[in-house]
Amino acid sequence: MQKAQSTLEYAIVIFSVIAALLAMQVYMRRGLQGKMRSTADELSVQQYEPKNTVSDITTTQISDITTNSETVEDDETYNTTTTTTINSQIESRAGSETVGGAGS
């Protein structure tokens, strides 16, 4: 009788711990996502929640691409050197982002 009661007590304790962890899982996940969002906002990295984000953002970018090719003949062989320089810079970013709004 004592053995069965002890086993039952252990089973109840293990069940209680597992139930508590499962119940806290949602809150722990939301807390972690909130911390990640906060850190991303501090770093100016755009984040979104796929199901609850509505975005209308326009990005204008200016790029300068310069390609130089030089071919040199050397004893019946041709050596071609190509140099490409890309200078890309974001000029402007405008729009809005709503998290938790009327998304799909």
Per-residue pLDDT reduced to its tens digit, 7-65: 889 999 999 999 999 999 988 888 888 888 888 777 765 556 667 777 777 888 888 88
Give CA angle at 73 (71, 79), nearest 5°.
Answer: 50
- Tokens 């709004």 locate to 101
Whether the CB-CB separation of 97 and 104 falls below 8 Å is answered with no
Does the pLDDT value for residue 102 go beyond 80?
Answer: no
The pLDDT, as a whole number, for residue 104 is 44
Contact of 67 with 82, CB cutoff 8 Å? yes
- CB-CB contact of 67 with 37 (8 Å): no
Q: Give the tens place of pLDDT for each residue, 90-100.
A: 677 787 777 66
85 - beta bridge partners?
66
Task: Say what the pTM is.
Answer: 0.32
Residues 6+ apart with CB under 8 A from 68: 82, 83, 84
Per-domain residue ranges of the chain: 2-50+60-88
The pLDDT of residue 4 is above 70: yes
